């Protein structure tokens, strides 16, 4: 079986425009303006002056020049990037909890990044396009990398085709994925060429819609796909009965795409971009009044000089004046832009705006944040679930116990910082009999990054500085036994 054309999934074709828009609006003004009329249509006057019409290279096109100036004056407000950066920062203000078998502790991505950083990239893609693919692969040849699988991330635009088997009431399982791995390759004389290539991940027979069989894969260029050239990856002789590939969307890990979670914000930013272009065009026209003479005797094409030191001679009864665009609509345009900016800020980057909330209580803040970040919980859970699923597949591949793999996302998005007043209140409560140990208080301080040392290290340093009557001091009997019990250790020392 061989073919030269790579087909795309119908859902890929349907969602690709949204993914491209999200990518462009996240990248910022340069990318948005490079798209030209895709996001900023030419006006009727631009088209009337020749925009889009074929003209000789040496002859200027007034419509093209006017549109270029119109686009250059416009400003794009990148609330999308601010929203993504803030959301990712909230999700990773505390590290995720990742537990692995000992043999997998040093597993890395193809960028040689830790799993915590890999999960951060996953969450970013979930927020930008609402879709990302995760793949486990082995080094091409021995010595190319560590003796264990490596993890790779594929953006939504690169997952061009997939299949999950039959459509009856059975569990979906990927049995075919096609990935676009086209990239620029450096050739002779330090030049770069775009090399088209696609990676095929196949389970079983490539011609059948059957989720059973052995995992095979291959990378193919312009020559097209060939079943006979597929290879069967194995780790120390162990093959896989499933694809080491997971698709994660905004809120789930199913193969069907979700709409990008920030698509409405992206649309709003583009509306602001177009409105800002019209507003600044009108501002520009305000300073471009036309000089008019009534009853003058100037020849056509004759230059007229105006301004200080200039002189214009007109016959008796003639008149000269400037006419220009009226400014009656500028105020309404400015107010409309202000309303759009306010709405975009509410939808995106100002989610955790604390202005005028210095005295807001921790509970109040958590409630307010929870009401605005319900999607973040689902995004964080879906990203962690996808990474855990892929790591479990790696564990099976390596002959390890997949039950020892666990990825738990941080979801403490709205926690207030641990202030001195809060610490005093907790210490007072402990002194009055509240059942909380010094170790628990230290764990809370460590979680809030007040200290990076362990409980034992802190005690060793502070034993000569903290008086025994201090609320944080550990009594020599009861609390010592409790501390030993918390660490799972026993002590024969009566102290």
With 50 as the cut, is the pLDDT of residue 368 above it?
Answer: no
The whole-angstrom separation of Cα 170 and Cα 147 is: 36
| SS3 per residue for 1-63 | CEECCCCCCHHHHHHHHHHHHHHHHHHCHHHHHHCHHHCCCCCHHHHHCCCCCCCCCCCCCHH
The whole-angstrom separation of Cα 97 and Cα 89 is: 16
Burial (CB count <10 Å: 0-12, 13-18, 19+), residue 175: buried
Task: Give the total residue count for the chain.
Answer: 495
Q: What is the DSSP string of 69-128?
A: HHHHH-----HHHHHHHHHHHHHTSS--EEE--GGGTT--BTT---HHHHHHHHHHHHHH
- Cβ contact 198:190 at 8 Å: no
Least confident among 75-79, 242-246, 431-435: 431-435
Burial (CB count <10 Å: 0-12, 13-18, 19+), residue 219: middle
Query: pLDDT per residue over 400-442, tens digit each?
Result: 999 999 999 998 775 556 677 777 888 888 888 888 888 888 8
Q: What is the DSSP string of 193-221?
A: EEE--EEEEEES-TTS--S-S-EEEEEE-
Confidence of residue 171 (pLDDT cuts 50, 70, 90): low
Provide the mean pLDDT of the chain: 80
DSSP state for residue 235 in the 8-state scheme? B
Query: pLDDT per residue over 302-361, tens digit each?
Result: 777 776 677 777 788 788 776 666 666 667 777 777 777 777 766 654 443 434 444 444
With 50 as the cut, is the pLDDT of residue 71 above it?
Answer: yes
Q: What is the pLDDT of residue 170?
A: 56
Q: List Cβ neighbours of 31 (8 Å cut-off, separation of 6 or more).
A: 23, 24, 25
Nearest C-alpha neighbor of 78 from the set 354, 338, 278, 272: 272
Token reading at 99: 């537990």
Q: Which residue has the tokens 């020892």?
A: 404
Stretch 439-465: mean pLDDT: 76
Q: What is the pLDDT of residue 271?
A: 92
The whole-angstrom separation of Cα 305 and Cα 328 is: 29
Of residues 319 and 255, more confidence is placed in: 255
Which residues are bridge partners to 89 per DSSP? none
Q: What are phi and psi of 395, to 5 degrees?
A: -60, -45
Q: What is the CB-side half-sphere exposure of residue 333 using CA atoms within 13 A? A: 16
- Cβ contact 495:476 at 8 Å: yes
Which residues are bridge partners to 319 per DSSP? 294
The whole-angstrom separation of Cα 265 and Cα 372 is: 14
Which residues are bridge partners to 192 per DSSP? 186
């Amino acid at each position: 079986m061989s073919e030269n054309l790579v087909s795309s999934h119908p859902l890929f074709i349907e969602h690709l425009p949204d993914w491209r828009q999200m990518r462009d609006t996240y990248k910022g003004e340069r990318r948005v303006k490079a798209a030209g009329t895709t996001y900023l249509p030419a006006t009727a006057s631009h088209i009337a002056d020749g925009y889009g019409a074929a003209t000789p290279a040496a002859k200027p096109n007034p419509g093209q020049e006017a549109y270029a100036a119109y686009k250059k004056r416009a400003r794009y407000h990148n609330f999308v990037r601010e929203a993504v950066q803030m959301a990712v920062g909230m999700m990773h203000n505390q590290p995720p909890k990742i537990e692995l078998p000992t043999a997998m502790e040093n597993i890395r991505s193809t960028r040689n990044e830790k799993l915590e950083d890999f999960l951060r990239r996953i969450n970013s893609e979930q927020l930008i396009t609402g879709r990302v693919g995760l793949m486990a692969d082995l080094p091409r040849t021995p010595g190319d990398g560590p003796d264990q699988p490596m993890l790779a991330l594929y953006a939504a635009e690169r997952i061009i085709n997939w299949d999950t088997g039959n459509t009856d009431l059975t569990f979906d399982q990927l049995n075919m994925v096609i990935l676009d791995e086209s990239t620029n390759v450096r050739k002779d004389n330090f030049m770069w060429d775009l090399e088209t290539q696609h990676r095929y991940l196949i389970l079983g027979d490539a011609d059948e819609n059957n989720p059973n069989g052995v995992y095979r894969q291959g990378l193919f260029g312009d020559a097209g796909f060939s079943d006979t050239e597929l290879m069967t990856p194995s780790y120390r002789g162990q093959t896989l009965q499933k694809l080491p590939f997971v698709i994660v969307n905004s809120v789930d890990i199913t193969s069907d795409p979700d709409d990008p979670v920030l698509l409405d914000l992206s649309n709003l930013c583009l509306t602001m971009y177009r409105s800002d272009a019209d507003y600044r065009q009108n501002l520009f026209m305000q300073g471009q009044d036309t000089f008019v003479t009534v009853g003058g005797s100037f020849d056509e094409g004759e230059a007229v000089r105006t301004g200080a030191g200039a002189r214009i001679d007109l016959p008796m009864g003639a008149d000269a004046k400037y006419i220009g665009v009226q400014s009656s609509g500028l105020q309404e345009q400015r107010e409309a832009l202000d309303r759009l900016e306010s709405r975009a800020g509410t939808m995106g980057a100002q989610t955790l705006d604390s202005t005028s909330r210095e005295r807001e209580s921790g509970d109040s803040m958590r409630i307010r944040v929870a009401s605005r970040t319900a999607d973040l919980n689902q995004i964080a859970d879906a990203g962690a679930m996808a990474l855990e699923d892929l790591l479990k597949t790696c564990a099976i591949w390596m002959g390890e116990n997949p039950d020892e793999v666990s990825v738990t996302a941080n979801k403490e998005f709205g926690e207030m910082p641990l202030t001195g007043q809060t610490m005093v209140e907790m210490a007072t409560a402990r002194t009055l009999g509240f059942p909380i140990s010094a170790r628990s208080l230290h764990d809370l301080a460590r979680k809030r990054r007040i200290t990076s040392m362990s409980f034992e290290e802190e005690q060793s340093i502070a034993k000569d500085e903290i008086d025994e009557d201090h609320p944080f001091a550990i009594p020599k009997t009861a609390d010592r036994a409790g501390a030993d019990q918390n660490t799972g250790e026993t002590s024969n020392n009566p102290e």
